[in-house]
Amino acid sequence: MPVLHAQGHCISCKQPLSPLRGLRRPRPRPVLPVCGLRARWLFDVKYGSKQEALAHIQEWILTIGQEAGLRLSDARILSGAVGVPESRIELELDMPDMAALESLWASIPADQHRAWGERLAHTIVHGSPVWHVYRETPVQSQEILEATKGGILLSGLRDGAGGSAPAAPPPAGVEEPEARYMIDWKGDRLKINPGDRLPGVG
For residue range 141-172, what is the model confidence (pLDDT) as tens digits?
777 666 666 554 444 444 444 444 444 455 55
How many domains is the chain built from?
A: 1
21 to 8, 12, 15, 42, 46: CA distances (angstroms): 12, 17, 12, 61, 73
Q: Is residue 174 part of a domain?
A: no
pTM (global) more than 0.75: no
In a domain, 107, yes or no: yes
Query: Would you say residue 106 lies in a domain?
Result: yes
Q: Determine, yes or no, domain membership for 30.
A: no
Structural domain contains residue 190: no
> What tens digit of pLDDT does each residue of 13-44 get?
555 555 555 556 655 555 555 569 999 999 99
Nearest-angstrom CA–CA distance, 62 and 84: 26
d(CA 26, CA 175): 44
**The domain spanning residue 64 has which CATH number?**
3.30.70.100
